[in-house]
Structure 1
Amino acid sequence: MPNAVLDAARRLLSSFVKPGRILVAVSGGSDSMGLLFALHSAIAEEKGGFSLAACTVDHALRSGSAVEAEAVGRFCAELDIPHRVLRWEGDKPQTGIQAAARNKRYELLAVAANAFDADCIATGHTADDQCETIAMRGARHPVEGETGEGQGAAGMAATMLYARQIWVLRPFLGIRRAEIRTYLERRGIGWSDDPSNVNPQFERARLRADVDRSNCASSPVWSGAQRAASSARAAALIEERVKVHEALVAEIAASSAVKMDNPDWRRGLMSVAAVLGGRGHLPARATIKRLSDFLRSDRPGRMTAGRVVFDRRRSGLYLYREPRNLPVLGIGPGGRGLWDGRFSIASLGPALTVSAGVDGAALQQRLIDAGLPKGVARRASEVAPRIVSAEPESSGREAAVIECRIGLYDTFLPGFDRIMADAVAVLFGRERYPAPPVHDV
């Protein structure tokens, strides 16, 4: 009888550009235990240069988590798979605990991947998880068919780049949890159940109780291929229509600004705006609609959304950070910090203070020389980072390395958005994102 679980593991191995080491994230639950054992079995068949390592992240949020991590370690030892437990130490936030736990989990998995010299991380996300994710994102960002600006309509991607460092692979997105549990039961392999999965305090658990999976298609509203195609079209439009100056202001020709009926152009433009505003997400759909109506009107004026001014003039459309709530950041000697969500700043030695309003005649002039209106150049220079060194003899700018942060993608980049992410990164003076270790899966 065909085995969907083992077949999924085989497909993953066959998708690699070249064999390598896979770090499997194993919590002890059925999904990750099934993934570990299926990959172990598929590699035994393959005999082609693949190897496994495993990591359990103990979030230390409940009693029993350490015992469960130890049980995973014993199972890995039986399979002769090297295993590490990494624990979330320190105080935990009082709110947003699941989002914080997710971020910490990937951070620690990346540490383990580096320690094991792994080429990628594999996680056991299933079709059930996909269904819940689409429901959660749909509740936060309602969409209309395929015109929802990409607000989660494609669900989780089969590949995801974390922190520009390591690719995360999700080979079980087409597999139901019940199939994985049957696979394990037939082999006499047990698992642990995390009680937080049914705790109504958490959004996903509430949805898990409410969603009728018999009526929930495992396929997302957009397929990954459709999302990737949209991203490629958006990338082409970004490259054709948008100029970015000094990572501070975007310039769009008046003839392009009005074309807001094109969903790919809307998504591309909103992605550029998110970077200028230091945001890690696109504006809400209602905000995008208001912006679209404003830009279609073809009348001069200004509108602010997502901390970005959309400055409409007869010469074109200009986007720049609004001059409000700009922070002051202290960076210790040799340290690093993120200023305003827009710029990563690293000290080359002295302590630094970062605030808004670079001493800017030279910057303003460069923007004017680039063809920007004087008013736009002035406003853009007012929201640039001003860096002051604690050592008076050294210039702040000379004492620092400044890099524009792409908040949409620098932490979590879905594989189907990589083409558009590359276009945005290049626009803001960043390198392209590394390619995944697999072909499309």
Structure 2
Amino acid sequence: MPAEADRAAPHAAIDAAKRFLSTFKTPGLIMAAVSGGSDSKGLVLALHEAITLGGFSAFSLAACTVDHALRSESAEEARDVAAFCAEKGIPHTIRQWSGDKPATGIQAAARAARYGLLADAAQGMGALCIVTAHTADDQNETIVMRQSRSDPNAPGLAGMAAGVLVDRRAWVWRPFLHVCRADIRAFLAARGEGWFDDPSNSNRRFERVRVRQALNESGPSSADMLAAGRARLGSSERAALLVARYVQGFEGLVARVDPALSANMADPDGARALMSIAAVVGGRHHLAGRETAVRLAAFLRDADGGRMTAGRVVFDRRKSGLYLYREARGLRQMELQPGERALWDGRFLVSNTGLDSVAVHAGGETAGLRARLIAAGLPQPVAKRAVKSAIHFSAMAEVSSPSDAAAPLQPTPCVQTHISLYDTFLPCFDLMMANSIATLFGRDRYLAPPVHDVLTEKSG
């Protein structure tokens, strides 16, 4: 066992935990994601000591381990973590990723599943937030990977945000972003604690592993990353103001962009605002790449106007403005069972609250919608084209036997516009921008973060 003097000695991990706890608006329960590796185990132990010995007794701590069930050892490792937490008096739960696993893109799929399971657990126990143990080493790797890509919209030096909202329902915070892995392991060693390493952390099939092995210990300084984060936040705020001032939404289908904004693609924040709206209209989770941005800028400089299609979006330029709507191609039909909730076309969240199966598709009877769009101020040709990609519902019997007269659906499924850029993962940098777009498309504002953070307090 370590000496009491060693246990009481100040340490970078403890200091980071205390700084994090001091940022909360009100104290409460924090749920730590812990795998049993050195980083997450160090985070749990540092928060535990800060709460029990460091003057933050108004907080409480719980932990959750996600068993991805990808290795035969994972279940036993989760039980070992449970035993470690029990020894410290920390409530712990295990959530397993069940079902078939994809043959490709396994890390991305595992990440999505992990955060969904963590959000479920945090909601179930009423936690203020989830904390994960991403370190300064992880941050440097992320920055290198993003800078190696050609996408001009990559966050670059800002790296990972200190906080991310998952599925609109749970904030995830990263208290160790400025703590090195070597310091965390030294902290665990001083406490007499061991850890285990996931073999995937050395598998060169994965880009992050290759970057980690090639990266030397030097990287952007904390000051550089803070400055980049502030720049990212400033860009988000300026783009949000441009959206609020120059963009108008119609029925979640069409966005009208004032010429004052669409004519100025040379302004990075103006271009970002326009491309963000296009991503949501097209149901895309990422902004379009450099080639599309260049092509759109050339189209908008052309005095003749007309239409251009890119990223599933029609850019319809007229004297009254630039109109964005989903192109009427690639609109697949989907069957929704009673009680089921699903995302259609990347644009609409649909919940079947009825007792019968429902077909979700485009088209259908659109005269009423077209009339509402025209009455709201859309040019008739824009309204006529836009309604072709509108969401529509039919009873499955009507679809399978179209000649039969089908009764109207009772009740009609519930529909919400899906803000594709932000509804799954929203970095705290972009909270003001996300709220501006949510308002435009008739959605509620996003959940405010539980902390007073230097990068987010103006937009919370």
TM class, shorter-chain normalised? over 0.9
Give the counterpart letter for 1:117 in structure 2.
G
Would the alpha carbon gap of residues 298 and 259 (structure 1) be closer, same or farther in structure 2, given more than 3 Å must change?
farther
Q: CA deviation at 1:227?
A: 1.3
Q: CA deviation at 1:49?
A: 1.4
- Is 1:16 matched up with 2:20? no
Would the alpha carbon gap of residues 93 and 230 (structure 1) be closer, same or farther in structure 2, given more than 3 Å must change?
same
Contact 2:168 2:446 in 1 (8 A): yes
TM-score (norm 2): 0.91
The CA deviation string for residues 315-348 of structure 1, in whole angstroms up to 9 with x for no partner, is 2111011111111011112322211110111122
Contact 1:339 1:345 in 2 (8 A): yes
Deviates more, 1:221-230 or 1:100-109: 221-230
Q: CA deviation at 1:424?
A: 0.3
Q: What is the distance in 2 between the residues matched to 1:103 and 1:47? A: 32
Contact 1:277 1:342 in 2 (8 A): yes
Q: What is the distance in 2 between the residues matched to 1:322 and 1:427? A: 20
Task: Select which of 183, 188, 194 maps to 2:192.
Answer: 188
Q: CA deviation at 1:139?
A: 2.8
Q: CA deviation at 1:179?
A: 1.1
Task: Select which of 49, 63, 70 maps to 2:72.
Answer: 63
Contact 1:334 1:351 in 2 (8 A): no
Q: What is the distance in 2 between the residues matched to 1:408 and 1:326? A: 19
Give the counterpart letter for 2:38 in structure 1.
S
- Is 1:417 matched up with 2:436? no
Identify the residue that residue 383 of structure 2 maps to in structure 1: 377
The CA deviation string for residues 16-73 of structure 1, in whole angstroms up to 9 with x for no partner, is 0000101000011111011001101111122431000001111111232222212211
Q: What is the distance in 1 between the residues matched to 2:434 and 2:410? A: 28
Contact 1:358 1:381 in 2 (8 A): no
What are the within-5 Å matches in structure 2 for residues 221-240 of structure 1?
223-240=228-245
- Is 1:324 matched up with 2:329? yes
- Is 1:107 matched up with 2:116? yes
Identify the residue that residue 366 of structure 2 maps to in structure 1: 360
Give the counterpart letter for 2:440 in structure 1.
L
Give percent identity, aligned residues only.
54
Q: CA deviation at 1:216?
A: 4.8
Identify the residue that residue 299 of structure 2 maps to in structure 1: 294
Where structure 1 has 5 or more consecutive residues not aligned to the other structure, the ranges are: 144-148
Give the counterpart letter for 1:266 in structure 2.
A
Give the counterpart letter for 1:371 in structure 2.
G
What are the within-5 Å matches in structure 2 for residues 400-411 of structure 1?
400-411=413-424
Q: Which secondary structure state, in structure 2, belongs to the residue aligned with residue 112 of structure 1?
A: helix
Give the counterpart letter for 1:211 in structure 2.
L
Q: Which secondary structure state, in structure 2, belongs to the residue aligned with residue 24 of structure 1?
A: strand
Contact 2:161 2:429 in 1 (8 A): yes
Q: What is the distance in 2 between the residues matched to 1:300 and 1:397? A: 44
- Is 1:127 matched up with 2:132? no
The CA deviation string for residues 355-410 of structure 1, in whole angstroms up to 9 with x for no partner, is 11141111111111222221111110011011113587753495111110011111
Contact 1:153 1:221 in 2 (8 A): no
Q: What is the distance in 1 between the residues matched to 2:373 and 2:206? A: 48
Q: What is the distance in 2 between the residues matched to 1:245 and 1:386? A: 17
Contact 2:258 2:322 in 1 (8 A): yes
Q: What is the distance in 1 between the residues matched to 2:410 and 2:305? A: 36
Where structure 2 has 5 or more consecutive residues not aligned to the other structure, the ranges are: 1-8, 398-404, 455-460
Give me the CA root mean square deviation: 1.8
Identify the residue that residue 246 of structure 1 maps to in structure 2: 251
Q: CA deviation at 1:74?
A: 1.4
Would the alpha carbon gap of residues 242 and 279 (structure 1) be closer, same or farther in structure 2, given more than 3 Å must change?
same
Give the counterpart letter for 2:272 in structure 1.
R
Task: Select which of 44, 47, 51 maps to 1:36.
Answer: 44
Identify the residue that residue 267 of structure 1 maps to in structure 2: 272
Q: Which secondary structure state, in structure 2, belongs to the residue aligned with residue 295 of structure 1?
A: helix
Identify the residue that residue 146 of structure 1 maps to in structure 2: none
Alignment coverage as a number of residue pairs: 436
Would the alpha carbon gap of residues 401 and 440 (structure 1) be closer, same or farther in structure 2, given more than 3 Å must change?
same
Would the alpha carbon gap of residues 365 and 327 (structure 1) be closer, same or farther in structure 2, given more than 3 Å must change?
same
- Is 1:7 matched up with 2:15? yes
Q: What is the distance in 1 between the residues matched to 2:392 and 2:304? A: 34
Q: What is the distance in 1 between the residues matched to 2:410 and 2:375? A: 21
- Is 1:281 matched up with 2:289? no
Deviates more, 1:410-419 or 1:386-395: 386-395
Q: CA deviation at 1:419?
A: 0.5
Q: CA deviation at 1:75?
A: 1.1
Q: What is the distance in 1 between the residues matched to 2:276 and 2:34? A: 34
Deviates more, 1:166-175 or 1:312-321: 312-321
Contact 2:246 2:260 in 1 (8 A): no
Q: What is the distance in 2 between the residues matched to 1:231 and 1:166? A: 21
- Is 1:199 matched up with 2:208? no
Contact 1:257 1:317 in 2 (8 A): yes
Give the counterpart letter for 1:279 in structure 2.
R
TM-score (norm 1): 0.94
Would the alpha carbon gap of residues 317 and 379 (structure 1) be closer, same or farther in structure 2, given more than 3 Å must change?
same
Q: Which secondary structure state, in structure 2, belongs to the residue aligned with residue 118 of structure 1?
A: coil
- Is 1:307 matched up with 2:320? no
Q: What is the distance in 2 between the residues matched to 1:176 and 1:292? A: 43
Q: What is the distance in 2 between the residues matched to 1:172 and 1:189? A: 18
Contact 1:235 1:419 in 2 (8 A): yes
Contact 1:23 1:113 in 2 (8 A): yes
Identify the residue that residue 179 of structure 2 maps to in structure 1: 175
Identify the residue that residue 35 of structure 2 maps to in structure 1: 27
Contact 2:417 2:442 in 1 (8 A): yes
Identify the residue that residue 5 of structure 2 maps to in structure 1: none
Q: Which secondary structure state, in structure 2, belongs to the residue aligned with residue 213 of structure 1?
A: coil
The CA deviation string for residues 283-311 of structure 1, in whole angstroms up to 9 with x for no partner, is 11222122122223343122211111111
Identify the residue that residue 345 of structure 1 maps to in structure 2: 350
- Is 1:333 matched up with 2:341? no
Contact 1:141 1:151 in 2 (8 A): no
- Is 1:388 matched up with 2:394? yes
Identify the residue that residue 88 of structure 1 maps to in structure 2: 97
| Structure 1 runs of 4+ with >6 Å offset | none
Give the counterpart letter for 2:189 in structure 1.
E
Q: What is the distance in 2 between the residues matched to 1:105 and 1:215? A: 28
Identify the residue that residue 155 of structure 1 maps to in structure 2: 159
Q: Which secondary structure state, in structure 2, belongs to the residue aligned with residue 34 of structure 1?
A: helix
